[in-house]
Amino acid sequence: MLCEEMWINRQIDHPNVVRFIEAQEDKNFLYLVFEFMEGGELLDLVDSLGKFTEVQSRKIISGLADAVVHCHKQGVVHRDIKLENLLFTSRDEADRKVKLTDFGISRVLTAG
């Protein structure tokens, strides 16, 4: 499963998907290196703000939809979209961009 997740992460290149940088391993562990997401999880933002404006919501949903459409065009189904798997590039609302992460249970679709 981990090999498939790494393969999928390498294939998905989109502004609204957390970028996979590299994998390193030693004799005991495999380390996956991803882009740093300073803004944290959507779940934490929901907890701190309590509610969103229509403009904020539109920006988040639009970014998520763009990521999902791109994944589907690549033949990848995420299968685990939830607040914890939506991360932000920045804490500053003006620079904040949502990105989809955690392709651990995603699958590549095959014909038929």
Active-site residue flag, 95:
no
How many other CB atoms sit within 10 Å of the CB of residue 99? 22
Annotated catalytic residue within 13, 44, 80, 95: 80
Residue 54's contacts (CB-CB under 8 Å, 6 or more residues apart) are none
Place of tokens 């005991």: 28
Structure tokens given for 63: 């970014």
Q: Exposed, middle or buried: residue 20 (CB in 10 Å: 0-12, 13-18, 19+)?
A: buried
20: left (phi over 0), alpha (psi -120 to 50) or beta: beta
Residues with catalytic function:
80
